[in-house]
């Protein structure tokens, strides 16, 4: 029931209207016409009527009193982050997958709730599990009331638990298969359907150092990308798909070198994710003769785009870069700051190996300016003792030792270095245009951005765990946090919204349930949504309604013939059981589906991807399972 203004002639009349369903259609019935709007406003009848009705509208009265500050809050609890990420947690099937793997395990606490709480804490503030146990008290998270700190440690241990020996097939040489591997593989299977494929993946590694010893085997000294060689560390590898969605992560001892990691990752993707043919994109740290030879084996069916080492590899340095073939322009000079960076490419074939040389004029000017600044600074430093120059890598590559054992500027090195300005070289076996290869390699920035987010989430370096399994669980929770973060970002981008994560976190934190008391009765009032929190709530998946079991049981196992349309099984406002775009289907041995309202003969063309998962598809039939 609602009030509307109905125009008749020169005047508008206020009417009380009620919606009614008649013969399957919604019709509006006018209950009363209150009079002309202008006269009612002039004489104050509308205000008087609303005031009179408010005596019976307790909720409205409470809201009005709360806005005026007449009802001080009795209690407040934050609801924004759980409201958003609980829905994404369910949509990505993380809750279901954890439930499947935990079935039969006799934990006396809700492990899935402990993991979700930890993941949410990583997203919002980061920190240790001890900090998470305190932080959660200010948030409305279902099912965590009885959780204690030791429950969080046990949940981390379960995630990193080593699987039995009979489930170790497909493990990398550097670490065993664990529970977290099963979770990744099942999550990928849930997201994969008949209409999706994984044609290109992006892989890179980073290192994370420990505050403590770093477990029994994970913590080891190695090449630190955090510039902390004094700390034990672990190596983390991450694989993303073309849409920048995380697929899986690997955790290896800190002394594992990048060049050894690529082949085990490829083999795991083929064996455990059942991916037949992929193209893997990785940077120059992954490349070696043995690696390329392994990738080329026909049994792997893997294409690759790998960064080549320009200075270290003689063939690249003396043959590929010396090629005189002209460049092809992909993007010219920028006209605005939003334009893509300038890019030129050319293909060079050397002994049946395909190389793509790329050149960025902006980067070339920057490299030249940086080198000039270093040389000018070096001239000043040479006036002092040589000891100050030894530890500076930027200085060392432009120096040589003179006869008097003093350092001098090496002009030949400076000249050679100028030949690399703004350039990078790719090695690939992919049959694609050079510009496409170059653009796909540039997409590796997604992995770099992912690692920046990962280290931001773990910025407090709270890895004080002493066991390998709890360390793996701790890092995997950060990975799951970024899975949810990336899912939300993609949904916002689909709507054309660019949202700053720091500001969105503040706006979500400001969304609260406020308990007030009126006439001795408690009421819960939700605070007003502010800023970008409203955008995050708008992109959330709709809450699915329960299906009538009797209806589903009547359909199960039946074959439904398709002639002019298709059956869609779904929920929500747009998709209804036994209906496709409002056209009711007749179920039977020779049933016929009515034409879609859009007029498409193949109704699956306008069905959501999730709807297809209920079917075993054949050319002209669907079986409801």
Average pLDDT over residues 225-236: 84
Q: What is the pLDDT of residue 298?
A: 65
Among 95-99, 195-199, 313-317, 593-597, name the most confident range.
95-99
Q: What is the pLDDT of residue 595?
A: 31
Q: What is the pLDDT of residue 387?
A: 63
Is the CB of residue 416 less than 8 Å from the CB of residue 397? Answer: no
Tokens standing for residue 436: 């496409």
- Computed over its alpha carbons, how large is the radius of gyration of the chain? 31
Using the predicted structure, report yes or no on whether residue 338 has a pLDDT greater than 50. Answer: yes
Classify residue 318 by its DSSP letter. Answer: I
- Express as a percent the part of the chain with pLDDT over 90: 25
Is the CB of residue 228 less than 8 Å from the CB of residue 207? Answer: no
Average pLDDT over residues 34-40: 91
Classify residue 499 by its DSSP letter. Answer: -
Which pLDDT band holds residue 400 (cuts at 50, 70, 90)? confident
Average pLDDT over residues 36-55: 84
Which pLDDT band holds residue 163 (cuts at 50, 70, 90)? very high
Is the CB of residue 224 less than 8 Å from the CB of residue 231? Answer: yes
Q: What is the pLDDT of residue 390?
A: 59
Q: What is the pLDDT of residue 585?
A: 36
- Summarised one tens digit per residue, pLDDT across range 146-159 is 999 999 999 999 99
Q: What is the pLDDT of residue 101?
A: 94
- Summarised one tens digit per residue, pLDDT across range 531-574 is 899 999 988 876 554 444 444 344 433 333 333 333 333 333 33
Q: Which residue has the higher pLDDT, 5 or 213?
A: 5
CA 526 vs CA 58, 135, 275, 539: distances in Å: 16, 21, 46, 19
- Phi first, then psi: what are they for 395, rounded to 5°? -80, -40
Which pLDDT band holds residue 454 (cuts at 50, 70, 90)? low
Q: Where are the domains of the chain?
A: 2-56, 362-421, 549-624
**Distance of alpha carbon 242 from alpha carbon 202, whole angstroms:** 8
Which pLDDT band holds residue 238 (cuts at 50, 70, 90)? confident
Is the CB of residue 477 less than 8 Å from the CB of residue 118? Answer: yes
- Summarised one tens digit per residue, pLDDT across range 503-512 is 999 999 999 8
Interstrand relation of 512-518 and 423-428 (parallel, antiparallel or unpaired): unpaired
Tokens 């489930």 belong to which residue?
167
Q: What is the pLDDT of residue 287?
A: 75
- Express as a percent the part of the chain with pLDDT over 70: 77
Please enumerate in sequence order all residues whose Cβ is within 8 A of that of 127, keeping only pairs 6 or more positions apart, or say none. 121, 135, 460, 462
Which pLDDT band holds residue 198 (cuts at 50, 70, 90)? low
Average pLDDT over residues 41-53: 84
Q: What is the pLDDT of residue 404?
A: 61
Q: What is the pLDDT of residue 545?
A: 44
Lowest mean pLDDT among 244-258, 315-329, 600-614: 600-614
* Chain mean pLDDT for the chain: 78
Lowest mean pLDDT among 336-345, 409-418, 495-504: 409-418
- Summarised one tens digit per residue, pLDDT across range 70-120 is 677 778 889 999 999 999 999 999 999 999 999 988 899 999 999 999 999
Q: Which residue has the higher pLDDT, 247 or 128?
A: 247
In the chain the first and final C-alpha atoms are separated, in Å, by: 41
How many Cβ atoms from other residues are within 10 Å of residue 302's Cβ? 24
């Amino acid at each position: 029931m609602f009030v509307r203004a109905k125009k008749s002639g020169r005047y508008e009349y206020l009417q009380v209207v009620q919606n009614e369903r008649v013969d399957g259609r919604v019709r509006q019935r006018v209950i009363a016409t209150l009079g002309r709007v202008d006269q009612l406003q002039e004489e104050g009848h509308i205000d008087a009527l609303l005031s009179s009705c408010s005596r019976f509208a307790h909720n409205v009265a409470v809201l009005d009193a709360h806005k005026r500050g007449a009802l001080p809050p009795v209690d407040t609890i934050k609801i924004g982050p759980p409201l958003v990420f609980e829905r994404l947690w369910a949509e990505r099937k993380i809750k279901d997958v954890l439930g499947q793997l935990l079935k039969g395990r006799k934990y006396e606490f809700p492990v899935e709730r402990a993991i979700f709480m930890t993941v949410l804490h990583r997203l919002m503030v980061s920190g240790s599990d001890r900090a998470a146990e305190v932080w959660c008290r200010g948030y409305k998270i279902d099912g965590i009331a009885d959780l204690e700190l030791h429950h969080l440690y046990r949940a981390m241990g379960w995630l990193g638990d080593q699987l039995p020996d009979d489930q170790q097939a497909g493990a990398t040489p550097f670490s065993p298969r664990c529970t977290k591997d099963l979770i990744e593989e099942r999550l990928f299977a849930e997201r994969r359907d008949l209409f999706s494929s994984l044609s290109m993946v992006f892989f890179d590694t980073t290192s994370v150092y420990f505050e403590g010893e770093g477990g029994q085997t994970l913590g080891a000294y190695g090449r630190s990308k955090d510039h902390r060689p004094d700390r034990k560390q672990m190596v983390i590898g991450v694989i993303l798909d073309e849409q920048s969605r995380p697929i899986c992560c690997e955790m290896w001892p800190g002394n594992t070198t990048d060049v050894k990691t690529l082949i085990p990752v490829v083999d795991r993707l083929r064996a455990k994710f059942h991916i037949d043919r992929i193209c893997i994109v990785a940077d120059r740290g992954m490349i070696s003769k043995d690696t390329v030879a392994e990738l080329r084996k026909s049994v792997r069916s893997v294409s690759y785009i790998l960064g080549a080492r320009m200075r270290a590899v003689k063939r690249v340095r003396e043959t590929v870069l010396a090629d005189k073939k002209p460049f092809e322009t992909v993007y010219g000079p920028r006209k605005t700051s939003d334009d893509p960076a300038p890019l030129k490419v050319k293909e060079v074939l050397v002994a049946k190996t395909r190389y793509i040389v790329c050149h960025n004029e902006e980067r070339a000017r920057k490299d030249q300016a940086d080198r000039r600044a270093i040389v000018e600074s070096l001239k000043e430093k040479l006036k002092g003792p040589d000891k100050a120059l030894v530890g500076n890598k930027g200085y060392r590559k432009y120096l040589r030792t003179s006869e008097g054992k003093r350092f001098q500027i090496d002009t030949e090195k400076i000249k050679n270095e100028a030949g690399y300005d703004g350039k990078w070289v790719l090695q690939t076996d992919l049959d694609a245009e050079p510009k496409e290869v170059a653009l796909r390699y540039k997409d590796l920035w997604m992995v770099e951005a992912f690692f920046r987010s990962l280290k931001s989430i773990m910025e407090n370096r709270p890895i004080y765990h002493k066991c390998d399994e709890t360390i793996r669980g701790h890092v995997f929770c950060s990975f799951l946090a970024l899975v949810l973060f990336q899912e939300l970002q993609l949904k916002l981008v689909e709507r054309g919204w660019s949202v700053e994560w720091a500001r969105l976190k503040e706006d979500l934190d400001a969304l609260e349930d406020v308990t007030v008391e009126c006439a001795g009765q408690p009421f819960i009032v939700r605070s007003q949504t502010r800023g970008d929190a409203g955008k995050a709530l708008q992109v959330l998946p709709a809450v699915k309604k329960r299906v009538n079991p009797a209806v589903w049981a009547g359909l199960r196992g039946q074959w439904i013939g398709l002639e002019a349309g298709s059956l869609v099984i779904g929920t929500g406002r747009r998709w209804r059981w036994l209906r496709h775009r409002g056209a009711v289907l007749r179920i039977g041995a020779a049933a016929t589906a009515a034409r879609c309202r859009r007029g498409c003969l193949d109704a699956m063309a306008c069905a959501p991807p999730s709807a297809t998962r209920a079917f075993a598809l054949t050319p002209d039939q669907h079986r409801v399972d």
